[in-house]
Structure 1
Amino acid sequence: MSRTRIIRTRDWASPVPPVHREVRSATPETDEGKPPVLFVPGYGHGAWTFAEHWLEHSASRGFAAHAVSLRGHGGSGAAPKATLRAYVHDVVQVAASLPRQAVLVGHGAGALVVTHALARYPARAGVLVAPVLGGWGTLGGALRRNLAGTLPAVFGGRLRLNRRQLFSRELPVATAADYTARLGRATARAQWQLLAHRDPEPPVGNPPLLVLGSPDDRIVSASALTRAAARYAAAPLLFPGMGHDLMLDARWREPIDAILDWLDKDAPTP
């Protein structure tokens, strides 16, 4: 039986500073009583990555959909010293403001944020998309796949990702280049915490969890996907031929439809 910490001394002794949080939303024409979905982008990404396709598509299927930009990302307030803890705080605060118990969907390093948020917020369900869950194995894989772009981040610089890592060849080059140019960066401390951080506490309420990604992802290996799913006693749902940014790639409908189908089945309206 999992245990939930009721009192976290650090939260009241050293509260996370407030900041403006950008939230983009799309709502269905008719309220079908389905749980709202909160999308959490990875480091360097903002809410816009979900606003391109997934928000409106989710709303068309009856789910109120929201995407938050973590502090220092997208249209959220600047936070040059933000930590993983601050990012988790942003997600929990937005989720708690929604009118119904929400589903948390994290992409990339946003999946790591979601795993920690699930220990603080009783989500209806959790979804980890192409999850970057950290640890020293993450660094080794990143260095092998993108030495020039990863090495500066180890020493506090910017993690640089290129379009070939993020997208499949099916996405037009001009579109991929535009998306890549819009990426920002996480703080040096938050980047470092991808490697050295405490394991998340167990999710509150034991919500159902789904892990999905692509075996052709050039950031998250197929074995890393399998390990991530094994943490939650599941097998990953795979989308061959897609890149890391599944929500922006050419076949973006396939993973979001799979997520929403799963929610209809495993997190039905009470």
Structure 2
Amino acid sequence: MRGREWARPVRPVRREVLEATPGLDEGRPPLLFVPGFGHGAWAFAEHWLGHAAERGFSGYALSLRGQAGSGPASEATLRAYAHDVVQVAAGLPRQAVLVGHGAGALVVAHALARYPARAAVLAAPVFGGWVTALTALRRNPLGTLPALFGGRLRCSRVQLFGRELPRDEARRHLSRLGRPARRAQWQLLLGREPEPAVGDPPVLVLGSPEDRVVPRSALTRAARRYASAPLLFPGMGHDVMLDAGWREPIDAILDWLEKERSGSLSPGGSVRGSYRVG
């Protein structure tokens, strides 16, 4: 029993959820995609939702409150974000796989303590803490410094995307980025540890060794938390779902889930492809 949940319930808000479903339902678990701060469901609708449906997986992408098409929430917290994920997941037709990107991976980690997910995927996870803040400040001082004083965290093209993504496409994505809530931004920097996941679901961590937001050491630490090693996709930026090589990470995720469905997957299980582990 969580007394705080009863004493101070999260305020309801309109949630934007985009979806893509396969023509034939073969009983695969649905995927719920959770974007990072400043992003919305559109970031997954660009490529990953449709591709998952083509491979037989129903995909749902949530815009966190205050982002994209969801209702305004200027004082949203990590707790409110996790609440929204749990509520949407609970309304899906089957036990869902939670897929979080960036700070959305931290939201998913918190949601796992309240929702018995079939599995979880943490893509380029930003788990916060002062080490992450200092890394961001060193690599992107002009974009990070305002966030330390309640302003907007701004990421550049070279942080989010690899060199192969055309400039005009990168600009289009950057123009859609919103402003995360100040309280949630601060909570990300403080880095409160998520509680243990309900039911010990398998968790896959992936990212790029060239990510200028999440260093490789942070990927390794996140994966060790779940007794696994990260899958690495060289040549990509932080936004692996929007970068030029977007197909490779989502295929790795779906390959991994196919192994999980067959019962042969361990938390650090390998999948086919040209990416590498560790």
Q: Which residue is 1:3 aligned to?
A: none
Q: Which residue is 2:122 aligned to?
A: 128
Q: Is the 8 A contact 1:109 1:131 kept in 2?
A: yes
Q: Is the 8 A contact 1:168 1:250 kept in 2?
A: yes
Which of 96, 100, 103 is residue 97 of structure 2 equivalent to?
103
1:48 aligns with 2:48: no
Which of 166, 171, 180 is residue 172 of structure 1 equivalent to?
166
Misfit runs of 4+, over 4 Å:
none
Which deviates the most, 223-232 or 195-204? 195-204
Which deviates the most, 48-57 or 197-206? 197-206
Q: Which amino acid aligns with 1:251?
A: G
1:154 aligns with 2:148: yes
TM-score by length of 1: 0.96
Number of residue-to-residue matches in the alignment: 263
Q: Which residue is 2:78 aligned to?
A: 84
1:261 aligns with 2:255: yes
Q: Identity of aligned pairs, percent?
A: 72
Shift of 1:201: 1.0
Q: Which residue is 2:61 aligned to?
A: 67
CA offset digits 1:238-264 (Å, max 9, x no partner): 000001000000010000000000000
Q: Which amino acid aligns with 2:178?
A: G
Rounded Cα–Cα distance in structure 2 between residues aligned with 1:226 and 1:146: 22
Rounded Cα–Cα distance in structure 2 between residues aligned with 1:257 and 1:206: 24
Q: Is the 8 A contact 1:136 1:195 kept in 2?
A: yes
Q: Which residue is 1:4 aligned to?
A: none
Secondary structure of the residue aligned to 1:104 is: strand
Which of 34, 39, 52 is residue 33 of structure 2 equivalent to?
39
Which of 215, 233, 246 is residue 221 of structure 1 equivalent to?
215
Q: Which residue is 1:93 aligned to?
A: 87
Which deviates the most, 104-113 or 199-208? 199-208
Q: Which amino acid aligns with 1:164?
A: V
Which of 193, 204, 217 is residue 199 of structure 1 equivalent to?
193
Q: Is the 8 A contact 2:127 2:191 kept in 1?
A: no
Shift of 1:162: 1.1
Rounded Cα–Cα distance in structure 1 between residues aligned with 2:20 and 2:82: 22
Which deviates the most, 101-110 or 189-198? 189-198
CA offset digits 1:171-220 (Å, max 9, x no partner): 00000011011100111110000122431111111100000000000100
CA offset digits 1:27-49 (Å, max 9, x no partner): 00100100000000000000000
Shift of 1:64: 0.4
Q: Which residue is 2:205 aligned to?
A: 211
Rounded Cα–Cα distance in structure 1 between residues aligned with 2:261 and 2:165: 32
Q: Which residue is 1:238 aligned to?
A: 232
Rounded Cα–Cα distance in structure 2 between residues aligned with 1:195 and 1:172: 32
Rounded Cα–Cα distance in structure 2 between residues aligned with 1:181 and 1:128: 25
RMSD of equivalent CA atoms? 0.9
Q: Which amino acid aligns with 1:131?
A: P
Rounded Cα–Cα distance in structure 1 between residues aligned with 2:221 and 2:202: 17
Shift of 1:268: 4.2
